[in-house]
Amino acid sequence: MSEKFDAILSSANLPQSGGLLYLRLRNLIAQSIDEGFLAPGDGLPSERDIAQMTGLSRVTVRKALGQLVSEGVLFQRHGSGTFVTQQVERFEQSLSTLTSFSEDMARRDMELRSQWLDRGIYAPAPEEMVILGLAGDEKVARVGRLRIANGVPLAVERAAIAASILPDPQSITHSLYAKLNETGHRPVRALQRIAAVNLDQKNAALLGVAPGSASLRIERTAYLASGRVVEFTRSIYRGDAYDFVAELRDAKS
C-alpha cells in the first residue's frame, strides 16, 4: 500500500531545495495523480504516515491535503482515509432552449431522482413579491428539490410560483413544467443570470462536495406568453459536473 508512496515521497527529498513545504508536498501528490501513479479511488497513506515518511509535521501534511481537497482532487472520509476523487461525468445544458431539469435528463436517458427539500404554500418574501408581481395578500408556492442523476447529486433547485398559478405544490410528482403545462401556464421565455459562487456548508453537504467548491448559481425568471412572470428559480449546480453551452451570434448580422 504505502511502498508506492515511499518511492514517490522519499525520492523527492522534500525538506531539501527551495519553496514552501506544504506546496511542494501538494505538487508532488498532484503530479503523482497526473502521471497515473495514483488512480481515481486509490487511497493515500494516513496523514500520520505521510508526516513520518516526509519528515513534515502532521499540520503541514494536512495543509497540503486540504488544498487538494478544496480543489476537488482528493476527498477525505472521517475515520476512513484520504482518497483520489473519482471523475464525475460532466453534463451539458443548452442556454438557448427552455427545458426543465426533468425533461433534460429524460432526453439523455439518465436515471433521475429528486429529494424534496421543500414543497408548500408560504407568505412571500419581499423579493418574491417584487419578482412575481404578487399582491399584498397573495401567497407563494415554493418547490425545493435536490436533483440526483445516476445517484450523483447535481443541483439544488428552489422555485417560487404565485399560489394563484400553482395552488397545490404537493401534487407535483415529477416535472414542475409538466404540471404547469397541465394548467396552461407553461412559460415560453426565460431570462437566466449565471454566476460562479463558492458553496456554503449547507449546499455543499446536500451536493456531497467540499464546502467552498466552485458552483454555478443560476437565477431564472420565466415568463408566460402574456408577459406575466410565472416562475422564479434559484439553482445551485455542481461546478465539477455541469457545463452550460451557449451559441452567440454577431450583433451586426
Partner DNA sequence: CAGTGGTCTAGACCACGCC
Partner DNA sequence: GCGTGGTCTAGACCACTGT
Q: Is 37 in the site for a second copy (CB under 8 A)?
A: no
Cell of 53: 515518511
Computed on alpha carbons and rounded to an integer, the radius of gyration of the chain in Å comes to 23
Q: Is 209 in the site for DNA (CB under 7 A)?
A: no
Q: Is 20 in the site for a second copy (CB under 8 A)?
A: no
| Partner that binds at residue 44, options DNA, a second copy, none, CB closer than 5 to 8 Å by kind | DNA
Q: Which stretch binds DNA (CB under 7 A): 18-26, 112-120, 137-145, 233-241?
A: 18-26
Residues in 167-186 that interact with a second copy by CB under 8 A:
186
In whole angstroms, the minimum distance from the beta carbon of 110 to DNA comes to: 27
- The CA–CA distances, whole Å, from 10 to 2, 47, 215 equal 12, 16, 37
In whole angstroms, the minimum distance from the beta carbon of 113 to a second copy comes to: 23
| Partner that binds at residue 245, options a second copy, DNA, none, CB closer than 5 to 8 Å by kind | a second copy
Of 244, 220, 201, 253, residue with least CA distance to 92: 244
Q: Which stretch binds a second copy (CB under 8 A): 6-14, 128-136, 152-160, 194-202?
A: 194-202
Q: Which of residues 72, 144, 153, 169 is near a second copy by CB under 8 A? A: 72
Give 56 or 148: the residue with its C-beta nearer to DNA: 56
In whole angstroms, the minimum distance from the beta carbon of 242 to a second copy comes to: 7
Q: Is 213 in the site for DNA (CB under 7 A)?
A: no
Work out the end-to-end distance of the chain between its first and last CA atoms, rounded to an integer number of angstroms.
62
In whole angstroms, the minimum distance from the beta carbon of 58 to a second copy comes to: 13
Cell of 148: 440526483
Q: Is 75 in the site for a second copy (CB under 8 A)?
A: no
Give 213 or 235: the residue with its C-beta nearer to DNA: 213
> In angstroms, rounded to a whole number, what is the distance separating the alpha carbons of residues 253 and 240?
35
Cell of 215: 458552483
Say which residues have a Cβ less than 8 Å from residue 74's Cβ, sequence separation at least 6: 29, 44, 65, 68, 82, 83, 84, 85
Q: One-letter amino acid identity for 209?
A: V
> In angstroms, rounded to a whole number, what is the distance separating the alpha carbons of residues 97 and 149?
21
Q: Is 130 in the site for a second copy (CB under 8 A)?
A: no
Helix (H) or strand (E) holding 115: strand 112-122
Give 47 or 71: the residue with its C-beta nearer to DNA: 47
> In angstroms, rounded to a whole number, what is the distance separating the alpha carbons of residues 208 and 176?
24
Of 193, 174, 203, residue with least CA distance to 100: 174
Q: Is 221 in the site for DNA (CB under 7 A)?
A: no
Q: Is 205 in the site for DNA (CB under 7 A)?
A: no
User: Which residues of this chain interact with a second copy, rule CB under 8 A?
Assistant: 59, 67, 70-72, 92, 95-99, 186-198, 200, 211-216, 220, 237, 239, 242-251, 253
